[in-house]
Chains A and B, each alone.
Chain A
């Protein structure tokens, strides 16, 4: 038996509880107050968060991304020659900041580790008031940070990330990717491989054992098998194996006549260098010349492989040798600022910053739901990749993909890749539903 007695403490509790109950409905209508969202800029400036690897194996790539971001901020604020602002098909940006506010930035170090990247993104959102996070040089990191951004209601403009998962099974409403993916590499590269090496080939894959490697292996396997190639073996190698000799020697006697290296960064440099040392460039198998393919190329990484990269086919998001107006404007601005041409990582990061700023201008607000709506289904041109669509269904950019070859007759230390073919957008467009995943809600959230 209990008696209903009202104590002072009980009254306070009841009061607090009813207060919460009364306030609760407010949270459901919060989205209605368009200006109430995480890190709403209140002063005369707006802060962007650049989260790039500044230490660790991808530090050089991260440094190039940061250069591009700083250049983008300059151009947005009306300094310098304006770069791609002059060639961008949308004319919403005027070089007076974004929505009249001066653009400022903070940087974080991802260390190419998911937990470190999340910690620095969190710091930028909570302490520095960053309204948008961008960057990354690894799919593992991009997916981790993208998840955090979705939870926090802060838009994430992915940097260099090539795994299908980023805009596939792990796609998020708050995450956007301009860079192409492994599936598109397969679609672009497949026909060229068949054209150059024939339809009766036997491929051997060496694959970096993590999300990006797996999706790339699957994509390239599907694309090549679709052309009639056989896959002899697909072997997973530990990330950062260093010496790949024990994985390369079985290739020699496997009956394969093509080696596909699903490696990136240091792994790619090492495995390619060692494959060449094992005589795979001069080897004959099944009565054909043995071939090596590196599906994802990067010029910065190609430098590490030296002469071994010559003549090897792969794909890339963008290369500074492109002659369109957008590329030329960007290369000129970047080259004048830093004395050398930008990498593909730099290009995607620069473009992502401009695209975000432009979406805010077109939406007329920094409120994420409206900015997301402005980006979804947005068609643009003049950014170096031809006519491009930010697809609404998965937030993946649909644009041309470059098939490149290591340059045999380089004219300078930067002239490492030669464009074999610009594969048009419609050939690398695919059904977004094949990878599953859910974008999730676009509701604005307070920090």
Chain B
């Protein structure tokens, strides 16, 4: 029982990340009709916003201590972060909370990156076949990856969660289920965070005029255009919004997975499966499929299940995708006519 509950939590956590990435992918596909293979790179860039922010905060003053020598004969360096010597307590606080605080920096940066990407490259591919779009965005993803590797190296760079949520929560004791159910605080935070972001995106599309116009544009951009609305401009903003969602998913994921240049690619393929299973162009479908596949993947890794079906943990997602596409060719919540012309 404990094991099942823990795997369920794992699934929600993983599902949160899949859903956030798939949500952005679907937004872009639904509005601009572009299959964006560089979306994983946006997730990675978000994570590196947190890394850069942390690196800037921890810039250090280096004082050489000539009395002590290193093993290779140079003076040893004494390093103190500038921020601590300038701001004292506040400085240490900022360093401790660098991951959540970096969200404030990530939002404008990712919005800008998204808009530049759409205006600078992707818009030239609107009327080209999907294959061209995939090639160019995949190429872009590789370029972004290599740039990050050039500046940050290939090794993962650890990012710590704030001290207050470091370690794990004794959920079992909270709910009177015994002491064996512990779960990392930060993963609970991540789940809450992804649920909030998903809810905000839906609220934005559902309850604002801007969102209503975007939804109308997703249905029939031509008619919306004829009503005198510059729908292209709004779609550009939506692309920026998708970049922000992916970026935020990346920022908050850094304490779970020390980021490296390749982390986007690792998520990209899975997210595409999520989008296809959810139904191309369906936002609720993407979220539903994200959580569903996350939970299934976690359960498939249980030793009891692996002893019956060895290796099932590595193929479960694709197996489910095959079954769903065979029985429901448009995915869980796909609409008729999307990518079918």
B6 at the binding interface (Cβ < 8 Å): yes
Indicate the member of A238, A246, A320 with the most B CB atoms within 10 Å. Answer: A246
Give every chain B residue within 8 A of A252 (Cβ-Cβ). 2, 6, 180, 182
Q: Which A42-80 residues sit within 8 Å CB-CB of chain B?
A: 55-60
Is the beta-carbon distance between B71 and A336 smaller than 8 angstroms? no
Docked pose: A418 CA to B204 CA in angstroms: 54
> How far apart are B67's CB and chain A's nearest CB, in angstroms?
14
Is the beta-carbon distance between A335 and B314 smaller than 8 angstroms? no
A151 at the binding interface (Cβ < 8 Å): no
Chain-A contact segment, one of B208-216, B254-262, B280-288: B254-262
Give every chain B residue within 8 A of A339 (Cβ-Cβ). 74
Contact check: which of B71, B77, B168 meets A328 at CB < 8 Å?
Answer: B71
- Could you write out 19 A-B pairs with CB less than 8 Å apart? A57-B260, A59-B154, A238-B314, A240-B266, A245-B14, A246-B10, A246-B298, A249-B7, A250-B301, A270-B258, A273-B258, A274-B184, A274-B256, A277-B167, A277-B186, A301-B155, A328-B71, A341-B71, A412-B77
Give every chain A residue within 8 A of B14 (Cβ-Cβ). 243, 245-246
Is the beta-carbon distance between A277 and B72 smaller than 8 angstroms? no
Q: Identify the closest chain B residue to A308 (Cβ).
A: B158
Docked pose: A333 CA to B255 CA in angstroms: 37
Is the beta-carbon distance between B257 and A242 smaller than 8 angstroms? yes
Q: Which A233-268 residues sit within 8 Å CB-CB of chain B?
A: 233, 235, 238, 240, 242-243, 245-247, 249-250, 252-254, 266
| Contact surface of A with B, Cβ cutoff 8 Å | 55-60, 233, 235, 238, 240, 242-243, 245-247, 249-250, 252-254, 266, 269-270, 273-274, 277-279, 282-283, 300-301, 303-308, 320-321, 328, 331-336, 339, 341, 412
Q: Identify the closest chain B residue to A59 (Cβ).
A: B154
Give every chain A residue within 8 A of B6 (Cβ-Cβ). 249, 252-253
Q: Identify the closest chain A residue to B14 (Cβ).
A: A243
B149 at the binding interface (Cβ < 8 Å): yes
Q: How many residues of B contact A (CB 8 A)?
A: 48
Contact check: which of B72, B73, B182 meets A279 at CB < 8 Å?
Answer: B182
Contact check: which of A56, A240, A278, A412 meets B154 at CB < 8 Å?
Answer: A56
Q: Which B139-164 residues sit within 8 Å CB-CB of chain A?
A: 149, 153-158, 160
| Contact surface of B with A, Cβ cutoff 8 Å | 2-3, 6-7, 10-11, 13-14, 70-74, 76-77, 149, 153-158, 160, 167-168, 180, 182-184, 186-187, 255-258, 260, 262-263, 266-267, 297-298, 301-303, 306, 313-314
Query: What 6 pairs across the A-B complex have the smallest Cβ distances?
Result: A335-B72, A306-B158, A246-B301, A59-B154, A279-B168, A277-B184
Give every chain A residue within 8 A of B158 (Cβ-Cβ). 269, 273, 304-306, 308
Contact check: which of A245, A269, A320 meets B156 at CB < 8 Å?
Answer: A269
Is the beta-carbon distance between A235 and B156 smaller than 8 angstroms? no
> How far apart are B249's CB and chain A's nearest CB, in angstroms?
13
Is the beta-carbon distance between A242 and B263 smaller than 8 angstroms? yes
Is the beta-carbon distance between B154 and A57 smaller than 8 angstroms? yes
Is the beta-carbon distance between A250 and B184 smaller than 8 angstroms? no
Docked pose: A303 CA to B258 CA in angstroms: 11
Is the beta-carbon distance between A335 and B184 smaller than 8 angstroms? no
Give every chain B residue within 8 A of A282 (Cβ-Cβ). 167
**In the complex with contacts A59-B154, A246-B10, A305-B158, A278-B168 CB distance below 8 A:** yes
Docked pose: A332 CA to B160 CA in angstroms: 33
Docked pose: A279 CA to B167 CA in angstroms: 6
Docked pose: A49 CA to B3 CA in angstroms: 52
> How far apart are A270's CB and chain B's nearest CB, in angstroms?
6
Is the beta-carbon distance between B73 and A266 smaller than 8 angstroms? no
Give every chain B residue within 8 A of A55 (Cβ-Cβ). 149, 154
Docked pose: A184 CA to B89 CA in angstroms: 48
A246-B14, A269-B156, A336-B74 provided; 13 other pairs, C-beta below 8 A? Answer: A55-B149, A57-B262, A245-B298, A246-B10, A247-B301, A252-B6, A266-B156, A266-B260, A269-B258, A273-B158, A283-B182, A300-B155, A306-B258
Is the beta-carbon distance between A60 and B153 smaller than 8 angstroms? yes
Docked pose: A432 CA to B228 CA in angstroms: 81
> How far apart are A235's CB and chain B's nearest CB, in angstroms?
7
> How far apart are A71's CB and chain B's nearest CB, in angstroms?
12
Is the beta-carbon distance between A250 and B3 smaller than 8 angstroms? yes
Contact check: which of A270, A283, A333, A412 meets B257 at CB < 8 Å?
Answer: A270
Docked pose: A303 CA to B263 CA in angstroms: 18
Q: Identify the closest chain A residue to B70 (Cβ).
A: A335
Indicate the member of A243, A279, A304, A306 with the most B CB atoms within 10 Å. Answer: A243
Give every chain A residue within 8 A of B182 (Cβ-Cβ). 252, 278-279, 283
Is the beta-carbon distance between B256 and A331 smaller than 8 angstroms? no
> How far apart are A218's CB and chain B's nearest CB, in angstroms?
18
Indicate the member of A252, A270, A300, A341 with the most B CB atoms within 10 Å. Answer: A252
> How far apart are A63's CB and chain B's nearest CB, in angstroms?
8
Give every chain A residue within 8 A of B73 (Cβ-Cβ). 332, 335-336
Is the beta-carbon distance between A249 and B3 smaller than 8 angstroms? yes
> How far apart are A68's CB and chain B's nearest CB, in angstroms?
14
Give every chain B residue within 8 A of A305 (Cβ-Cβ). 158, 258
Docked pose: A233 CA to B306 CA in angstroms: 12
Is the beta-carbon distance between A304 and B258 smaller than 8 angstroms? yes
> How far apart are B166's CB and chain A's nearest CB, in angstroms?
8
Give every chain B residue within 8 A of A247 (Cβ-Cβ). 301
> How far apart are B257's CB and chain A's nearest CB, in angstroms?
6
Indicate the member of A235, A304, A307, A336 with the most B CB atoms within 10 Å. Answer: A304
